[in-house]
């Protein structure tokens, strides 16, 4: 809703998978402005803005009034939207608060075009970054795409030639997915991008869990047919960033996914960079922002990320951030910094 300050915001969180048997049934629950953990700790909360909302109307208060907390977006397949305000509590009925896609199941819900919903603002008619992620179909036999699989002990982030990314914390590449397989391996699936100039997919690896030997595997596909692959073992140290590149031009033209051995990011002067977390060639404000965003988090906290705990004391503190700020890459523009 364009009237909300955070409209069209939020990261795509990637693909989540669940195992179900034929005939299984399920429902959903959303806790607005809070979490399930907080609700369990205080189930009698008097805050009306934190009352859980269920896809089954019978479980909502005054259930006969709750037709349509969940609605279906007919024109883009099994995609659904939640209204995060109870419909008898001055709801804005914008139906864009939580958007999910569920595949492999049949879902029974009213559509957004059902007049009984009182849909107040048709956000489908304006540009919306969510839509490219939930328009998913079987790959065309001629469609090029690739997978990047990292077999621990590291995390992976992939950037496309336009600078968009995908990783364990979500991302911005339309159509890309991130998941863990049953062995704990991290897998990124990427659609081919139309890129008018030569460019590269940047594959960034971040050492965790003591580092050690890992395997990086790339596969290129045309439709469902594998046409190219490469798997190579490497080693990585804790808190170390390594990077390698795949030519977007070669991928688009030939379907090849060849890559060189991952190395430490290099500066303009070709010196190794310790804290270039996004491996873009310098340690800058973007890298400081990454570690600062989880400042004051410790082991057990949702935000805590072992990779950024540079001194290994179990918390992200100012001491970790200072290691990055004192290693900022000097300005290469030739202009004096102020």
Which CATH number goes with the domain that contains 297? 1.10.1330.10
Report if residue 16 sits inside a domain: no
Report if residue 195 sits inside a domain: yes
Do 255 and 157 belong to one domain?
yes
- Give φ, ψ of 270 to 5 degrees: 65, 35
Do 126 and 37 belong to one domain?
yes
Report if residue 331 sits inside a domain: yes
Residue range of the domain that includes 107: 29-134
CA 180 to chain centre: 13
Do 155 and 90 belong to one domain?
no
Strands (E) in the chain, as ranges, are: 29-30, 53-54, 70-73, 79-82, 98-101, 144-151, 154-159, 165-167, 170-171, 177-180, 186-191, 200-207, 212-222, 225-236, 241-247
Report if residue 21 sits inside a domain: no
Examine the fold and report which residue of 73, 99, 134 is the final residue of a domain before the chain moves on. Answer: 134
Do 129 and 148 belong to one domain?
no
Report if residue 56 sits inside a domain: yes
Examine the fold and report which residue of 113, 134, 155 is the final residue of a domain before the chain moves on. Answer: 134
Report if residue 276 sits inside a domain: no
Instruction: Give the per-residue pLDDT at 161.
Output: 87
Residues linked to residue 146 through DSSP beta bridges, in sequence order: 190, 220
Q: What angle do CA 120, 125, 127 make, to 5 degrees?
A: 120
Instruction: Give the per-residue pLDDT at 56.
Output: 61
Tokens of 122: 């048709």
3-state per-residue secondary structure call for 142-201? CCEEEEEEEECCEEEEEECCCCCEEECCEECCCCCEEEECCCCCEEEEEECCCCCCCCEE
CB 247 within 8 A of CB 275: no
Report if residue 20 sits inside a domain: no
Determine the angle formed by the axes of helices 318-325 and 285-292, rounding to 10 degrees.
Answer: 170
With a CB cutoff of 8 Å and minimum separation 6, the contacts of 247 are: 198, 200, 256, 258
Do 235 and 159 belong to one domain?
yes
Do 55 and 37 belong to one domain?
yes
Per-residue pLDDT of the chain (338 residues; tens, 9 = 90+): 444 555 555 666 666 777 777 667 777 787 877 888 888 888 888 787 777 777 665 544 443 333 456 666 655 556 777 777 666 556 666 766 777 777 767 666 666 665 556 666 666 666 555 555 555 445 567 778 889 999 878 999 999 888 888 888 878 887 787 888 778 889 988 877 655 456 889 999 999 988 899 999 999 988 778 999 999 999 999 999 999 999 988 888 888 889 999 999 998 888 889 899 999 999 999 999 999 999 999 998 888 999 999 999 999 999 999 999 999 988 744 444 44
**What average pLDDT is seen over the chain?**
78
Please give the tally of structural domains in the chain: 3
Do 156 and 86 belong to one domain?
no
Instruction: Give the per-residue pLDDT at 4.
Output: 56
Report if residue 8 sits inside a domain: no
- For 273-308, write each residue's pLDDT tens digit: 989 999 999 999 999 999 999 999 999 888 899 999
Do 185 and 208 belong to one domain?
yes
CA 32, CA 36: separation in Å to the nearest integer? 10
Examine the fold and report which residue of 134, 153, 187 is the final residue of a domain before the chain moves on. Answer: 134
- Claim: this prediction has a pTM higher than 0.85: no
């Amino acid at each position: 809703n364009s009237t909300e300050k955070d409209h069209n915001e939020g990261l795509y969180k990637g693909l989540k998978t669940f195992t179900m048997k034929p005939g299984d049934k399920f429902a959903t629950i959303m806790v607005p402005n809070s979490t399930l953990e907080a609700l369990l700790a205080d189930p009698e909360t008097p805050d009306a803005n934190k009352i859980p909302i269920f896809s089954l109307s019978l479980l909502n208060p005054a259930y006969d009034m709750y037709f349509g907390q969940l609605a279906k977006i007919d024109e883009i397949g099994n995609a659904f939207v939640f209204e995060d305000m109870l419909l008898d509590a001055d709801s804005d009925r914008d139906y864009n608060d939580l958007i999910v896609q569920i595949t492999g199941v049949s879902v029974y819900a009213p559509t957004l075009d059902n007049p009984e919903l009182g849909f107040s603002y048709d956000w489908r008619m304006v540009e919306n970054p969510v839509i490219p992620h939930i328009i998913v179909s079987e790959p065309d036999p001629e469609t090029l795409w690739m997978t990047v699989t990292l077999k621990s002990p590291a995390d992976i982030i992939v950037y496309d030639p336009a600078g968009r990314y995908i990783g364990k914390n979500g991302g911005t590449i339309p159509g890309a997915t991130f998941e863990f397989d049953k062995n704990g391996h991290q897998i990124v699936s990427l659609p081919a991008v139309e890129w008018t100039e030569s460019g590269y997919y940047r594959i960034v690896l971040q050492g965790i869990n003591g580092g050690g030997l890992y395997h990086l595997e790339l596969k290129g596909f045309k439709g469902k047919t594998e046409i190219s692959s490469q798997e190579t073992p490497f080693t990585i140290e804790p808190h170390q960033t390594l990077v390698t590149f795949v030519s977007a031009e070669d991928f688009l033209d030939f379907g090849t996914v060849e890559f060189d051995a991952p190395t430490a990011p290099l500066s303009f002067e070709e010196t190794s960079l310790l804290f270039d977390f996004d491996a873009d060639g310098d340690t800058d404000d973007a890298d400081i922002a990454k570690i600062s965003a989880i400042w004051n988090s410790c082991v057990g906290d949702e935000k805590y990320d072992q990779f950024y705990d540079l001194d290994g004391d179990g918390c992200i503190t100012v001491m970790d951030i200072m290691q990055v700020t004192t290693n900022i890459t000097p300005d290469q523009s030739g202009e004096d910094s102020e």
